[in-house]
Amino acid sequence: MSQEIYERIRGNPKFQALVSKRNRFSIVMITLILVAYYGYIVLIAFDKALLATKLSAGGVTSIGIPLGLGVILFTIVLTWIYVARANSEFDPEAEAIIKESQQ
Amino acid sequence: MKTFAKLSHAVVAIALASVAGLTFAAGADLGQTQQQATNWTAISMFAIFVGATLWITKWAASKTKTAADFYTAGGGITGFQNGLAIAGDYMSAASFLGISGLVFGSGFDGLIFSIGWLVGWPVITFLMAERLRNLGKFTFADVASYRFAQGPLRSFAATGTLVVVAFYLIAQMVGAGQLIKVLFGLEYIYAVVLVGIIMMMYVLFGGMTATTWVQIIKAVMLLCGATFMAVAVLFQFGFSPEALFAKAVEVHAKGDAIMAPGGLITDPISAISVGLALMFGTAGLPHVLMRFFTVPNAKEARKSVAWATTWIGYFYILTFIIGFGAIVMLPLDPAYYVDGDLALGLKGGGNMAAVHLANAVGGNLFLGFISAVAFATILAVVAGLTLSGASAVSHDLYASVWRRGNADSKTELRVSKLTTLALGVIAVLLGIIFEKQNVAFMVMLAFTIACSANFPVLFMSVLWKNCTTRGAVAGGTVGLILSVVLTVVSPGVWEAALGNPKGSALFPYASASMFSMTAAFLVIWIVSLLDNSEQAKKERALYPNQLIRSETGVGAAAASSH
């Protein structure tokens, strides 16, 4: 790959925009997963009683169980959201930038 | 016999109730087991699995001609296949038997444990997967050393890889030996030698192609078997979790306590530290990172992690249901318990909950299947580990450092095969040496090193423009040394494994990662900032090109044609 193409991509404002958009998105997603996981752990460390509360009067299932399964599902869903956006939005933009640089 | 049973029951009880999140840190460990009656059904099923996978290896061998084929299966794996293979790499026997055993013993706590092992995957997705694919070829050192001095950086990365692989391997080999005693009723030494030989055949002849298919087949078998068990359990309760939990609370010795968090997390610093190791350690495991070079482009790399996360998350939900299924179904038949006495605990120990449940829901044939799958699981993990260790030696140390990039593909391939042979022998020896040792901490130590040495170097080299060779090597080395030293003087090793008196451990927490990872990042940052050498200036000047390639994939190695 010639240095000229790199220079053109570097000078393209669309490239800078793509990089900062992707970084922003990654940071938001990482923050969400950190909050979900550590929120759950901190809740366990400091308020076990809350997690042990029953979902319904007379039932046995505690709040902690749907919450925990929720963290697992949240992890999976979050990953797919990132992949979907990257595949449908970031990739075509990156391709367009490369194309422009080769003209 | 009876005293031994009581003793092992006590060991399980201590392990489950251990203080300060020790169990949490130790990882689901299989511990010492007792040899059971020879199980020919399980052995036959396992033999069929080995036969089929060796047949695939033969096919893979015909396709493995160059170093690229050996390291990356020629780059022709799809995202979906790679996702399954990653899941097959990650879902170990310890997590299947250990987590369902933990749920069987204390209910809710098993769920906390499994969540920790899942949250590393989004981190890889958001930060690493596509950048790895765009910058690298065969090993994560390719990525970390992209704009740096090859010698020092690759030597460091290869050390980081080999240390992580070594600790991980020991845990797997010892686990195999303990498992074969309870699952097949054979002696410890058979397992270690068998695993060593079969794994060497996969890797030596079939390279990454064979390893990938072994991992895919194992993942599919494990997911199918676990799904069948979970459905069979839920079916009995009209697919109502509430009904299942109600019955479990009724029959479990701890009663309603199994619906609430127990002793797993008591000390917040340890909990946070362990969480860091799991979250960022996954993004520093060499055998996992290596899998991203087997797909053709960044898009497929992203898809692989998303599929892997899906399968692993689904698997952990299944183990939770399986654990509860064991709570309600095993007491119906005292034959699963030592001397038929429910108070003495399960035959073969608490980790056998899933295995006995397999018998309860599917009879002897299904028991054989699950036992064979549990053991086959180890083969797949060990093959992946060996392959990544071999590539660190042949691609990073031999071809890039020693031959300064002038080794031809044929010689490089020969070196990787010789290394595979050597690693196989070393793995068997380590398995024998550590037979009687407590290796519970080793997987966690591997994660701690991965998050304190490999991950910071990878992260900073790719994402921070001012990072230099000196900074990366200094910081990574500090992270590596600190994680080993602090782990050795932590209660889990100093007191539990080395037998020093209680309270004598110098480092009070269950995991070193909060300190060792922070230190690594700080040292990389400070040393890089202070580095004003000519080399450093050149490296910073190369950053814009690296950024362009990592973000857009322009100039990325077309996987099938390096």
pLDDT tens digits, residue range B218-260? Answer: 999 999 999 999 999 999 999 999 999 999 999 999 999 999 9
Cα separation, B409 vs B17, in Å, equals 53
CA dihedral sign of residues A21, A23, A28, A30:
positive
Lowest mean pLDDT among B135-139, B397-401, B403-407: B403-407
Q: Does A81 touch chain B (CB under 8 A)?
A: no
Q: Where on the phi/psi map is residue B290: left (φ > 0), alpha (ψ -120 to 50), or beta?
A: alpha
At residue B504, φ and ψ (nearest 5 deg) are: -90, -5
Residue percentage of chain B with pLDDT more than 70: 93
C-alpha Rg value of chain B to the nearest Å? 23
Chain A residues closer than 8 Å to B303 by CB:
83, 87
Interface of B with A in 103-132 (CB under 8 A): 108, 111-112, 114-116, 118-119, 121-123, 125-127, 130
Q: What is the dihedral of CA A15, A21, A27, A33, to 10 degrees?
A: -120
Cα separation, B376 vs B91, in Å, equals 11
Q: Exposed e or buried b for every residue in B44-58, given b needs 16+ CB within 10 A?
A: ebbeebbeebbebbe
In this prediction, residues B365-391 reach a mean pLDDT of 91
How many whole angstroms from its chain centre is CA B14? 25
Cα separation, B554 vs B367, in Å, equals 51
Closest partner residue to A26 among B126, B268, B303, by Cβ? B126
How many whole angstroms from its chain centre is CA B480? 18
The pLDDT, as a whole number, for residue B558 is 58
Closest partner residue to A94 among B119, B246, B552, by Cβ? B552
The pLDDT, as a whole number, for residue B546 is 93
The pLDDT, as a whole number, for residue B183 is 86
CB proximity list for B356: less than 8 A, separation 6 or greater: B326, B330, B336, B346, B347
Residue A20 has pLDDT above 90, yes or no: yes
Q: Give SS3 for B531.
A: coil
Residue B107 has pLDDT above 80, yes or no: yes
Cα separation, A79 vs B307, in Å, equals 9
Cα separation, B365 vs B372, in Å, equals 11
Chain B residues closer than 8 Å to A2 by CB:
none
The pLDDT, as a whole number, for residue B439 is 80
Nearest to B552 by CA among B168, B133, B241, B33: B133
Question: Does residue B61 contact residue B128 with C-beta atoms inside 8 Å?
Answer: no
Q: Give the global pTM.
A: 0.91
Chain B residues closer than 8 Å to A69 by CB:
111, 317, 320
The residue of chain A with its CA nearest to that of B241 is A61
Residues paired with residue A62 on neighbouring β-strands, in sequence order:
A54
Interface of B with A in 319-358 (CB under 8 A): 320
Q: Give SS3 for B347.
A: coil
Lowest mean pLDDT among B29-43, B225-239, B363-377, B475-489: B29-43
Chain A residues closer than 8 Å to B306 by CB:
79-80, 82-83
Assembly ipTM: 0.95
Chain B residues closer than 8 Å to A86 by CB:
130, 299, 302
In this prediction, residues B484-489 reach a mean pLDDT of 93
Q: How many CA atoms are closer than 13 Å to the CA of B164, on its beta-carbon side?
A: 35
Give, as one character, the DSSP assignment of residue B494. I
Mind listing the pLDDT tens digit for each residue in B271-293?
889 889 999 999 999 999 999 99
The helix or strand, by DSSP H or E, that contains position B384, with its residue range, turns out to be: helix B353-391
Nearest to B489 by CA among B512, B468, B472: B512
The pLDDT, as a whole number, for residue A102 is 82
Q: How many CA atoms are closer than 13 Å to the CA of B473, on its beta-carbon side?
A: 17
Cα separation, B12 vs B345, in Å, equals 9
Pairwise CB contact (< 8 Å): A79 & B317: no
| Cα-based distances in Å from B337 to B30, B211, B330, B341, B349 | 18, 37, 8, 6, 9
Query: How many C-beta neighbours within 10 Å does residue B86 have?
Result: 29
Residue B423 has pLDDT above 90, yes or no: yes
